[in-house]
Amino acid sequence: MRRVKRSIPILLAAASIACARNVPAPAVAAGLGRWELLPSGDRPLPRHENAYVRVGDRFYLIGGRGTNPIKPVEIFDPATGTWRTGATPPVEMHHFQAVEHDGKVYVLGAMTGGYPKEPPLPNVYVYDPATDRWTTGPEIPADRRRGGAGIVAHDGQLYVVSGIREGHWDGHVPWLDAFDPRTGNWRRLADAPRARDHFQAAVIDGRLYAAGGRRSSARIGRVLDLTVSEVDVYDFRTGAWTTLPSTANIPTPRAGTMVAVVGGRLVVMGGESGTQQPAHAEVEALDPRTATWTTLAPMAVGRHATQAVWFGDRLFVAAGSRTRGATEINSQEVYTPGR
CB atoms under 10 Å from CB of 166, counted, come to 19
Q: In sequence order, what are the residues at sequence separation of 6 or more whose Cβ sits closer than 8 angstroms to the Cβ of residue 19? A: none
φ/ψ (deg, to 5) at 165? -85, -25
Question: pLDDT band for position 8 (50/70/90)?
Answer: very low
User: Given this model, what pLDDT does residue 295 score?
Assistant: 97
Q: Which CATH superfamily is domain 10-48+136-336 in?
A: Kelch-type beta propeller (2.120.10.80)
Q: Could you tell me the CA-to-CA distances from 211 to 188, 196, 304 in Å, in that order? A: 21, 9, 15
Question: pLDDT band for position 205 (50/70/90)?
Answer: very high
User: Given this model, what pLDDT does residue 15 score?
Assistant: 33
For the cut 60, the answer to whether the pLDDT of residue 56 exceeds it is yes
Per-residue exposure over 205-230, b if at least 16 CB sit within 10 Å of its own CB, e if not: eebbbbbbbbbbbbeeeebbebbbeb
User: Given this model, what pLDDT does residue 20 score?
Assistant: 31
pLDDT in tens, 12-43: 333 333 333 333 333 344 579 999 999 988 89
Q: Which helix (H) or strand (E) holds 161?
A: strand 157-161
pLDDT in tens, 280-299: 999 999 999 999 999 999 99
**Strands 200-204 and 123-128, how do they pair?**
unpaired
**Strands 164-166 and 170-172, how do they pair?**
antiparallel
User: Given this model, what pLDDT does residue 1 score?
Assistant: 42
User: Given this model, what pLDDT does residue 29 score?
Assistant: 46
Domain ranges of the chain: 10-48+136-336
Alpha-helical regions (H) of the chain: 10-21
For the cut 50, the answer to whether the pLDDT of residue 300 exceeds it is yes
pLDDT in tens, 246-271: 999 999 999 999 999 999 999 999 99
